[in-house]
Amino acid sequence: MFAEDEADVLFAAAQTPVELGAMVARRAAGLPLEQVVGWAEFCGLRIAVEPEVFVPRRRTEFLVACAAALLDATHPVVIDLCCGSGALGLALSAVLGGAGAGLVELHASDIHPAAVRCARRNVGASGAVYEGDLFDPLPVSLRGRVDVLLANVPYVPTDAIGLLPSEARDHEPRVTLDGGMDGQDVMRRVLADAPQWLAPGGHVVIESTERQVAQALEAATRAGLIPQVARSGDLGATVIIGIQPR
């Protein structure tokens, strides 16, 4: 975003000159714009973002688009793992016409308490948000019923975190960024356990990087999933898709 665009957002968000001055000071100190104003735009939605919560990236809109294109169920069951603010599940529900309308059965989980609190604020009555590690807090009744499993997992290699922009490095929890030595620790866990939860023909859709594609596809194959990869040059996004055999 250009400085002029950021200024427009700040002017629109501030109620008084004093509040505007405080917002500008926080932004100048390095706080992400979305945390300064309290929201992020994602897939045309305004998603509430609180301190210590991962800010949804525009490139992740491609993951939502991929998931929407894969779904053909009339009342899909959707899981959003590592949900952060809850943006992915909520955006997919909105694309499918189900946000708040009961057309999508949405479940989300995150290990970070601040993220769970923020996601519950965003999701509201449109779904359920659980606190815990990946699949652990989800209802057992979901096993074998999930049509699409969204996962924007931490995938930055541990040694590369120090190279991230300060907005992410200094203002987002490390647990939302650190994917282990090769960046794929959490991704491998999701792919390994996904078949227990997916319905026949269901999909797991995970954001990745181009350098991680080969290993991610191999992990999906080991889990018994049919692997695919989707790319968006415009958004610089790479998505790994694992299909549960029917």
Per residue in 183-234, pLDDT tens? Answer: 899 999 999 999 999 999 999 999 999 999 999 999 999 999 999 999 999 9
Torsion sign across C-alpha atoms 181, 183, 186, 190: negative
Q: Which residue has the tokens 């949900």?
A: 83
Task: Say how far apart CA 233 and CA 231 lie, in whole Å.
Answer: 6
Task: Say how far apart CA 223 and CA 193 lie, in whole Å.
Answer: 8
C-alpha closest to that of 29 among 39, 40, 38, 21: 21
Digit-coded pLDDT (tens) for 4-54: 888 888 988 888 999 999 989 988 888 888 988 999 999 999 999 988 899
- Name the token pair of 53: 């919560």
Torsion sign across C-alpha atoms 194, 135, 235, 217: negative
Identify the helix (H) or strand (E) that includes residue 16: none
Q: Are 85 and 111 in contact (CB under 8 A)?
A: no
Digit-coded pLDDT (tens) for 143-188: 999 999 999 998 888 888 888 877 778 778 788 887 888 989 999 9
Identify the helix (H) or strand (E) that includes residue 28: helix 17-28
